[in-house]
């Protein structure tokens, strides 16, 4: 793979910040939102412009600043980074449309602050995507934690402040208390934190120390919501739905699992993972998380809480793929970043549209809502199919590769866990769809003529649901990038 010096990944990372002055000084809501939309379109264009070269085997690199000898703040656009950047930048455009419809319909307060910190969060997510080493990734990871705190506590009531405290305690406490010291020790051992094909050289280190460092970093990146580091995610559902969409699809949790993928493939590497049994540790943690989270999701009546526990389980599919350490498994995990993003953001968009149109948050009170909101619930059905992994949706593609990865590694138990968890996905989503469309008329809690949410809340889930179907038939370039990232 050819590597050339280029400012493009660094420029792309900083593009979202260009919207901040316009957002803060805009005299009208239309102008403020126009700045946001323009920045989102500019970012996705910049990322797409790098795609042909990266798909052709070129890696863009740039060293911005040498902090310490051998520890620069550096940027790199490679296949895995570009895959994540494509997801984040594309969904920022759609989420901006949705945010306009949602925030205006509910007349939410502090919308200028909301759009400003949202842009900062996207800046951090793209910065993580294009980080060339663990230090750079860590800096953007931490900045993302602080920039999303005002979004989680947007309502500024006691419930949101309590959720914000838990959010910061988990994701900042673990990254500073666990990841930071582990990074220092790794740098002392190997003399570098650069993401390297096959991992950095840890051959001279004590095997127990390497194992401990791996576990500390995996749990320290708590944005991946691996149990028991998951409690912040359901608590953060008090935020407005566009923020929930950011947390679950566009940035935060995807930054967590992306960081895990980078650590597995670029820091420890397959050889070290196999040598110390770290692959089995990672797949076990992932398997337990995806099963337990799916079982908990079954008992949740709040729609956003059910979606939150679903996300915890779905993230562990990506971690599971990383732990399999074979071509099919890692490819499936990487592709699931995109497939889950489009499917889950569809479901959160629908949950917000339901709340805007009806004020309803609880599944038990949504009987017959399909007749009232057919477009919204149609999109919800498609998003559910993608999360379950049923054709013709993109979720089937990623789960197909993950299942083959389990079989290729001879781990039949993991294959059974994967299939069982998909059945649990169906068990907590399909009854919602069934009651929405097929409950007896005398039991329907929503009757009367069709009354959807405003177009700004309905159009985005239709777009993302359509993309979920499109990705089944045309999974590239995501599939191509994933295969290139772990040949």
Q: What pLDDT, on a 0 to 100 scale, did the predictor assign at position 87? A: 95
Closest by CA position to 387, among listed 286, 307, 454: 307
Q: What pLDDT, on a 0 to 100 scale, did the predictor assign at position 231? A: 87
Q: What is the pLDDT of residues 82-123, one digit of tens each?
A: 999 999 999 999 999 998 988 888 887 788 998 999 999 999
Q: How far apart are CA 135 and CA 183, in angstroms?
A: 8
Residues 377/429, Cβ–Cβ less than 8 Å: no
Pairing of strands 71-77, 58-68: antiparallel
Closest by CA position to 216, among listed 248, 178, 187: 178
User: Average of pLDDT values for 373-386?
Assistant: 96
Distance from the first to the final alpha carbon of the chain: 11
Pairing of strands 2-5, 71-77: unpaired
User: Average of pLDDT values for 58-67?
Assistant: 93
Domain ranges within the chain, ordered by starting residue? 1-270, 277-487
The answer on pLDDT for 447 being more than 80 is no
Q: What contacts 139, CB < 8 A, 6 or more positions away? A: 73, 127
Q: What ranges make up the beta strands (E) of 351-420?
A: none
Q: What is the pLDDT of residues 5-56, one digit of tens each?
A: 999 999 999 999 999 999 999 888 899 999 999 999 999 999 999 999 999 9
Q: How far apart are CA 425 and CA 429, in angstroms?
A: 6
Closest by CA position to 223, among listed 281, 145, 284: 145
Residues 314/429, Cβ–Cβ less than 8 Å: no
- The single residue listed with the structure tokens 């389990």 is 406
Q: What pLDDT, on a 0 to 100 scale, did the predictor assign at position 266? A: 94
Q: Which of 240-249, 332-341, 371-380 has the lowest mean pLDDT?
A: 240-249
Rounded to 5°, angle at Cα 133 from 132 and 134: 140
Closest by CA position to 230, among listed 297, 135, 146: 297
Q: How far apart are CA 433 and CA 346, in angstroms?
A: 14
Closest by CA position to 49, among listed 86, 74, 16: 86
Q: What is the pLDDT of residues 331-344, one digit of tens each?
A: 999 999 999 999 99
Mean pLDDT, the chain, integer: 92
Confidence of residue 1 (pLDDT cuts 50, 70, 90): low
Task: Specify the pTM.
Answer: 0.95
Buried b (16+ CB within 10 A) or exposed e, 396-417: bbbbebbbbbbbebebeebbeb
Q: How far apart are CA 296 and CA 291, in angstroms?
A: 9
The answer on pLDDT for 484 being more than 80 is yes
Confidence of residue 239 (pLDDT cuts 50, 70, 90): confident
Q: How far apart are CA 35 and CA 16, in angstroms?
A: 10
Residues 332/78, Cβ–Cβ less than 8 Å: no
Q: What is the pLDDT of residues 404-439, one digit of tens each?
A: 999 999 999 999 999 999 999 999 999 999 999 988
- CA 71 to chain centroid: 27
Q: What pLDDT, on a 0 to 100 scale, did the predictor assign at position 151? A: 85
Q: What pLDDT, on a 0 to 100 scale, did the predictor assign at position 448? A: 67
Q: What are phi and psi of 471, to 5 degrees?
A: -70, -20
Q: Which of 166-175, 248-257, 362-371, 381-390 has the lowest mean pLDDT?
A: 248-257
Token pair listed for 246: 């950011």
Q: How far apart are CA 481 and CA 487, in angstroms?
A: 10
Q: How far apart are CA 80 and CA 84, in angstroms?
A: 7
C-beta neighbour count of 215 within 10 angstroms: 16
């Amino acid at each position: 793979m050819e590597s050339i010096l280029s400012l493009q990944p660094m420029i792309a990372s900083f593009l979202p910040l260009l919207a901040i002055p316009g957002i803060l000084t805009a005299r009208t809501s239309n102008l403020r939102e126009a700045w946001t939309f323009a920045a989102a379109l500019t970012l996705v264009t910049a990322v797409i412009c790098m795609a042909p070269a990266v798909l052709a085997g070129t890696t863009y690199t740039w060293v911005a600043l040498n902090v310490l000898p051998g520890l620069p703040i550096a940027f790199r656009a490679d296949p895995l980074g570009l895959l994540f950047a494509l997801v984040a930048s594309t969904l920022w455009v759609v989420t901006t449309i949705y945010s306009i419809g949602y925030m205006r319909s509910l007349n939410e307060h502090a919308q200028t602050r909301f759009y400003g910190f949202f842009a900062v969060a996207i800046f951090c997510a793209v910065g993580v995507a294009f980080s060339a080493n663990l230090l750079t990734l860590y800096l953007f990871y931490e900045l993302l934690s602080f920039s999303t705190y005002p979004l989680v506590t947007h309502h500024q009531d006691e419930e949101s402040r309590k959720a914000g405290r838990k959010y910061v305690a988990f994701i900042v406490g673990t990254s500073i208390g666990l990841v930071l010291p582990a990074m220092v020790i790794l740098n002392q051992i190997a003399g570098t934190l650069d993401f390297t094909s096959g991992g950095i050289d840890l051959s001279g280190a004590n095997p127990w120390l390497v194992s401990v460092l791996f576990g500390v970093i995996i749990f320290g990146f708590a944005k991946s919501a691996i149990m028991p580091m998951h409690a912040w995610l359901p608590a953060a559902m008090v935020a407005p739905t566009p923020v929930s969409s950011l947390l679950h699809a566009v940035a935060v949790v995807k930054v967590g699992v992306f960081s895990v993928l980078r650590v597995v493939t670029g820091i420890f590497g397959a050889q070290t993972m196999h040598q110390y049994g770290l692959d089995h540790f990672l797949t076990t943690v992932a398997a337990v998380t995806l099963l337990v989270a799916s079982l908990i999701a079954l008992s949740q009546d709040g729609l956003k809480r059910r979606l939150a526990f679903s996300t915890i389980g779905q993230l562990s599919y990506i971690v599971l793929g990383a732990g399999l350490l074979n071509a099919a498994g890692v490819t499936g995990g990487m592709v699931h970043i995109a497939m889950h993003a489009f499917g889950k953001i569809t479901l959160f968009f629908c949950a917000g549209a339901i709340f805007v149109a009806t004020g309803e948050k609880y599944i038990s009170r949504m009987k017959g809502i399909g007749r009232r909101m057919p477009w919204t619930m149609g999109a919800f059905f498609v998003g559910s199919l993608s999360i379950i992994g049923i054709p013709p949706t993109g979720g089937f593609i990623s789960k197909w590769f993950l299942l083959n990865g389990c079989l290729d590694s001879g781990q039949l138990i993991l294959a059974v866990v994967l299939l069982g968890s998909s059945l649990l996905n169906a068990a907590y989503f399909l009854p919602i769809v069934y009651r929405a469309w097929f409950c007896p008329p005398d039991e329907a809690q929503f009757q009367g003529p069709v009354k959807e949410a405003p177009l700004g809340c309905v159009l985005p889930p239709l777009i993302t649901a359509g993309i979920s179907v499109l990705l089944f038939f045309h999974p590239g370039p995501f599939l191509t990038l994933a295969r290139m990232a772990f040949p």
